[in-house]
Structure 1
C-alpha cells in the first residue's frame, strides 16, 4: 500500500499461543499499526504509515511482547532472511517425531522458521542470518538423529539415485524377518513344555528381537528429556507386563505393536506414492537440437532460446513456442481438461503437456526453474507450510494430550491402592499400562496432514492449485463468491459486432477514427477495434494522446479532438448522446465536442458460467455477486442471464476493492468471502479477499502471485469443483478425528475400568492409525466431483 512501511519481527522462544494472540491484539491497538502474528513461525508482521517513527513502533511492540513472554529474543528479520532452503529427510517415518523436529529446530538460534511436511519428507528452513552455518546444520542433524536415528538430511539437489537407494525395502524385509522369528519363539515358549528359566529366557529373547530398538530409543530420549513419546509408552507398558508376570502378553503386545507399525509404514508409503503419482508431471529429459544433431539432456541444462524436438508420446519439458509441426496435446495433468488441445506453429506450449501425434520443434522461452511444471510443483509442495486451523489444533492437542494421559495412568496405578482397601497395585498397575498403550496420538498426527495434502494433490489433478491447507479449509466454509465479469464469467475475447454512426458520419469514417484513437492502447477492446478496421494505422496523424483510467481516451487527430470511451466519459465531457441499449461493451466517440456514434463490442458468456452459479447455490453458497467496470445495462443483462444474486457495475479498479470490503463487513473466519478474477487486472481484489481465486491463470505470474487458489483452465465451473474437493477433504479429516478420539476414548475408559486388555489396546493405538491413514487416502480421489 502506498505510504505504508512494512517490517517483520522474529520472536524467538514464542511458545504460548494465547500470549501470541494477545501480542497481536495489543499491537493492532497501536494507532495506525496493523499486525499479523504467525505463531508457527514465531514472526510478527507490522505495517504502519511511513510518517511514523519506525524504531518507536518496534520499541513499543517489543515492550508489548516482553510483557507477555519475558524470555523472548526479539529481532528484526532482514530481506535476506527470506531465502528458504529445502532438504529431504530420508528415512522419516514417524509423524509425531516430525512434529517434534519442527518444534525443536524452530527454536535454534540460527533458524528463522521451519516447516516439515511429513507426506513429502521435505523440510523448508528459512535461516535467520541469510544462510545456514555448518554449526546450525549439525545441530539440526543432531535433533533429527535424537528423534529418529536412521533419518538423514539430504539437500534437495541430491541426486535421485541417492534418494532412491533400496534402504526402505531392506528395512521392511529386516522388520518382517524379526517379527516372524520373534513370533515363532513366542509360540515355542508358550506351548512347548520346558523349565521356567528357559521359558523366561525365550520370552525375553522374543521380546528383545522386536522391542530392543524401541527400548534403546526410549532410553536415549529419556536421557535427553524427551519422555512422552510412543517409544516410552510402549517400553513402560510392556516391561510393566513382565514385572506383573504377564510374560506372553508383554511380548505379544510388543510384537503386534511392531506388526501394526509395519502396516502403518506401508500405508503411509502407499499414501505418499499415490500423492507423488498425482504430481508426476515433471519431465525427465529434453531433446536438445544442436544443428542436425539431437542430444538428450536434463531439462535443467536447457536455456531460453535453445531449440528442442518433442516426439509423439513425450512430455513437453519446458515452456516455449512451436516453430514447426502440428499436433495435439494432452493437458489433463495441468488443467484437468479431458479433451486434447490442438497445436500449430506459433502456439505457446507449457511444460507438462504430452505431445500426442506429430513431431514438434519448439523454442524455449523460460528456464526450467521458471517453467509451469516447476511453479505447480512448488505450489503444491509448499502448501504444507500453510497449515489449516484444524492441523494447528491437532499439533497443539498432541503436545498436551500425551503428558495428560501419562499423568492419568500414574493416578490409575497408585491412587486406588492408596484410597480403597483391597485394591491391588498389580491389578491397577496393569490397567494403567493398558491405558498407556492406548494413549499415543499418532492416528491424528499422521492422518490429518495426509488428508489435507491428498486433497491438495487431488485438486491439482483437476487443474486447481491450492496454495495451502488453510485455503482448502476456507474453501469448505465459503459463504459468498464474488466474480469479476470480463475474462472470468465471459471469454474476454472482444469482437466489434456493430458500428452505429451518428448523422453526418459514415460507418467507415467512424471505424477509421476509432482505430486511430485506440491504436496506442493494448486493451483487448482496442485490439478488437484495430482488428475490425483491418488496415494499417498512420501514427503521424495522432498528435496528442491521453488515457483516462476508468473513462477512455482523449486524442488529437487531423479531424480535431477525439474522445473515445464509455457513457460516463461522454457525460463527464457534456457530450449529448443517447445511451445504447445493447448487450455488449459500447465505445462512444465524439469529434470536436460533437457526438459521432458508437461501436458495440460483444464479449461472449462462457458456456459453463451459468452451471457454475447453479452448482455453487446447490452447495449452499449464500450469495453470488458480480463486480464489473462495464456499464449497468450490460452488467445487469449478464447477471440476469447467469442467475447472480447481486450485480455492481461501472466500477473503477479502486471501487472493486471498496465493494468487496463492504460485502466482507459482516463476514468472519467461519464465513469467508472468495473473489474470482482473471488474476491480472484484479490483483488488488484477489489479495484483499479471504480467498482469492485466479481464473485461467496457467502460466500467469501475476495470477499465481496474487491468488490463494489458481484455476489453471478457463472454466468457472472449477470454482464449484474446488469447493466440493475442500468439503470432501474436511469430511475425511473430521471422520478421522471423530474415529480416532472416539475409539481411543472408549478404550481408555475400558482400560481404566479393567475391561480392556493390552491386545485391545494395541488395536486402539496402531490399528486406528492404519485405518485413519487408509481413510485419508480417499482425499486424493476426486473423480466424479
Structure 2
C-alpha cells in the first residue's frame, strides 16, 4: 500500500525504541502486518516510528518486536531514552570477551581440541550471539535472508567444522558492528530529538485576573501567555502587550535576535530577550510551527531517496546471491577439483560473513537522516531524501522577484506634481482612492500619506471602480480621477496626452521603479514612482550560487522590463524574464527543465504555486508561521530571506557525494574481499574486519554531514 493510501485511512502512529538496524525494522514491519486486525503497517526507521492501520494494542506490537525487545510508545508521549550504565549496557559483550580470553588461555595450555577450550568459545558464542541467533534462526526457518541470517549460518558452520575461536570472534565483531550502527542512527536522530526539547512544556497564563502555570496541552487559542525576560515562548501567538527582542534561531536559523512589538507574531521554542511580553495564543500545541517542523522532518526521514531505493532493490537480490555463491565456493572445489572439504567449507563461510550487507544497508539512511537533521537545526526544512538528492544535482535556479529577491514591501520613491496643484491636497486624494484598492502598491502610497501626516480618510469617494490590470478610478468633489499604469492612459484613456512625460516615465522605469500616472479632467496631474527594495542578502546569495557552479540563475517577474532589468542588475542574476503571467512562469519552468533537467523555483510558497510545483525542487521562502509554505514546498527556508539557500545546496551536494562514496566503497570492499577466495586466502577474520570496517567507515563518513555549516 502506498504512503498516500496509508495516510488516507484511519491509522495510529507509535514511537519505537530499540531498533538496532534497518533489517530489523523491516522484520518488525512484516511482523506487524501479520497481526490479527492490522490491514497495513509502515515503519519509519529514521524517525523510529511505526504507522499502523487497523486495531493493535501496544502489547500486540511489542510481541511483534519481541525478537529485538522493542519498546512501543504512543506518538505523543514524551520519549525517555533509558540511560543504562556503560558496564550494564554492554555486559553481555564483556562476558563474551571474557570467555574468549579464557578460551585462548585454555588453547595455549591444553590445545584447541580440549573440551575446556571448546566450552569457553561455545559459551562466548551462545552468550554474545543469543539475540543474533534468535532472529537469524527464525529468518532461516521462514527463508528470509538478511544479514542476521548470513551471520547465523556462518557461525553455526564455523562451529560444525571446529573453528570455535573464529566463530566466537565473528560473534563479538558483529555485535560491535551492530552497536556502531545503532550509535550512528541515534546520533543522527539526536538532531530531531533536540528539536522536540526546544519548546517548554508549561507556560504562565493569565486567567480570571490570576497568573497560573498551565501545561501546554491545556492552553487554548485566545489565552494570554506572560513571557518573562530570558524565558522560552511555549506557544505560537501574537504580541498584545510589551516590546522585546526574540532569538528565533531554533525556528529560522537566524543568529541575530528579532525585535518584536504589539501585533508581531512569535513562535513556540524561541527565546525572549529582556522585555516582558503578553502573547495571545493563536495555535494549539500540535499546530505550532515547531510541532509542524518536527512532524515534517520525521516524515521526511521515511521518504526514500533514489539511492536508498536502489540499495533496497540491490540488497533484495544481493543477500540470496551471496548465499548461493557461498554454497558454490564450499561445494564445487571439493567435488570437481579434489579440494579439501574443511578448507573450502571454511572459505564458503567466510564468503557469507564478508557478504553481510551491513555497510551497504546503513550507507544511505544515516546520510539522509543526518543531513535532514542538520538542515532543520539551521532553519531549512527538507521534506524527504528525494528532495535532498535532487537539490544536490540542480543546474539552474529560478527566482520570483517580489518577496524573494526583494523585500516585498514597496515604498514611494518619487512624487512629481506636473500642474499647479497643492501636493498635499492631491496626495490626500490619491491616498483616499488607493485606500479602496486591493493593489499591492496601494499600501506604499497610503504609508507615504501617513508618514507625511496627510489626512485622507474623511475624503468622500463615489463611483469607485477598478480597471482590471491597469488602474482605478473614482469621483471626488464632482471630478473623475484616474490612477494607473502608463498603459492605462495609452490604451484606455487615449484622450489624455502623456506624450510630453514619456521620457520621464521611461527614466523612472529604467531605475527599476513602477510608475503610476494620476489624471483628471483630461489632464495629467502627477507622477508617482514606487519601488520594491532589494534584500541586502540577495546579491551575495546569487554570487555564492554562481561560485558553487550553478549554470544559470533566472529572475521571473510580472513587473515591467525596465524594473526587472534594474533589480536583476543589482542582484546579479544571469537572465531576466519580465512581464510574465503565472502561466508564463509555469511554461518557462518547463522549458528550463527541458534544457537543464534539474531546475529549482524559489518563491514565497503562496504565489506562483504552479511554477513551484512544476520545478524539480520547489523552494518556499518564510516557512515560519506560513502553513502554505510548509505544506506545498519540497524545501522551506524558515527565515524570510535567501541566506540559507547556498547552505542548502552545499549540504545537499555533500550528502549526495557522501551517499555515492558510501555505496561505492561498500560494494568495492566486498568485491575485493571476495577476490581473496580465488587463492583461498579469505579467512573469517578478514571477512568480519572487512564488513565491520566498511560499516564503521561509511558511518563516520555519513556523520561528517553534521559538520556542514553555512
Q: After TM superposition, is the score higher than 0.5?
A: yes
Matched residue, 2:298 = 381
1:30-70 residue CA offsets vs partner (Å, 9 max, x unmatched)? xxxxxxxxxxx277xxxxxxxxxxxxxxxxxxxxxxxxxxx
Whether the aligned pair in 2 keeps the contact of 1:316 and 1:355 (CA below 8 Å) is yes
Q: Quickly say closer, same or farther: Cα 1:217–1:570, change in 2 above 3 A.
A: same
- Which residue in the other structure is 2:55 paired with? 133
Residue 770 to residue 546, structure 1, CA distance change in 2 (3 Å)? farther
Q: Does 1:211 align with 2:135?
A: no
Q: How does 1:254-269 map to 2 (within 5 A)?
A: 254-269=171-186
1:286 Cα deviation from its structure 2 partner: 1.6
1:496 equivalent in structure 2:
412
SS in 2 for 1:603: strand
Deviations 1:310-361 (A, max 9, x none): 2333211111122333332221121121212223344321112111323322
| 407 and 290 in structure 1: CA distance in 2 versus 1, 3 angstrom threshold | same
Unpaired runs of at least 5, structure 2: none
Corresponding residue to 1:770 among 696, 701, 705: 696
| Cα distance between partner residues in 1 of 2:648 and 2:707 | 13
- Secondary structure of 1:629's counterpart equals coil
Q: How far did residue 159 of structure 1 move?
A: 4.5
Shift of 1:374: 0.9
- CA apart distance, 1:570: 3.2
SS at match of 1:487: helix
Deviation at 1:446, TM superposition (A): 2.0
**In structure 2, do the counterparts of structure 1 residues 564 and 663 end up closer, same or farther at CA, with 3 Å as the change threshold?**
farther
- Give the direction of change, closer, same or farther, for the CA distance of 1:642–1:157 in structure 2 (3 Å limit): closer
Query: Does residue 602 in structure 1 map to residue 527 in structure 2?
Result: no
The aligned residue for residue 313 of structure 1 is: 230
Cα offsets for 1:235-255 (capped at 9, x unmatched):
211222222222222222222
Deviation at 1:299, TM superposition (A): 1.8
Equivalenced residue count is 696
Q: 1:96 aligned to 2:14?
A: no
User: What is the CA deviation profile of residues 149-173 of structure 1, one whole-angstrom value per residue up to 9, with x for unaligned ones?
Assistant: 411332203344xx43457979724
- Cα 1:371/1:592, change in 2 over 3 Å: farther
Distance 1:403-1:503 versus aligned 2 partners, 3 A rule? same
- The CA RMSD over aligned residues, in Å, is 2.8
The structure 2 residue matched to 1:732, chosen from 635, 649, 658, is 658
Contact 2:151 2:356 in 1 (8 A): no
Question: Which residue number in structure 2 is paired with residue 708 of structure 1?
Answer: 634
Higher relative contact order, chain-length normalized (CA < 8 Å, sep 6+): 2
Equivalent pair of 1:480/1:674 in contact (CA under 8 Å): yes
What is the match of residue 142 of structure 2?
224
Q: Deviations over 1:751-777 (max 9, x none)?
A: 454212111111122232122222211
Give the Å deviation of 1:443: 1.5
After TM superposition, the structure 1 = structure 2 runs for residues 663-682 of structure 1, keeping only pairs within 5 Å, are 663-668=592-597, 672-682=598-608
Summarize deviations over 1:79-106 as a string: whole Å, max 9, x none. x825553211121122122244456767
Deviations 1:700-732 (CA, angstroms, capped at 9, x unpaired): 112222211111222223221210111111122
Matched, 1:357 2:274: yes
Q: Look up the match of 1:116.
A: 43
Deviation at 1:558, TM superposition (A): 4.2
Question: Quick one: structure 1 residues 453 and 566, their matched pair in 2 at CA, closer, same or farther if it must change by over 3 Å?
Answer: farther
How far apart, in 2, do the equivalents of 1:555 and 1:105 lie?
A: 69
User: Distance in 2 between the 1:662 and 1:550 partners?
Assistant: 27
Q: Distance in 2 between matches of 1:773 and 1:110?
A: 38
Q: How many angstroms apart in 1 are the aligned matches of 2:93 and 2:78?
A: 29
Q: Report what 1:181 is aligned to.
A: 98
Does residue 296 (structure 1) correspond to residue 213 (structure 2)? The answer is: yes
Deviation at 1:618, TM superposition (A): 1.3
Shift of 1:276: 2.8
Q: How does 1:47-62 map to 2 (within 5 A)?
A: none
Contact persistence 1:431–1:752 (CA under 8 A):
no
For residue 685 of structure 1, the aligned residue among 603, 606, 611 is 611
Pair 1:567–1:115, CA change in 2 (3 A): farther
Matched with 2:375 is: 459
* 1:559/1:591 contact within 8 Å kept: no
Measured in 1, the distance between the counterparts of 2:373 and 2:608 equals 26
Which of 2, 12, 31 aligns to 1:85? It is: 12
Alignment correspondent of 2:249: 332
Counterpart secondary structure, 2:558? coil
Residue 151 of structure 1 is matched in structure 2 by 70
CA distance in 1, matches of 2:546, 2:602: 16
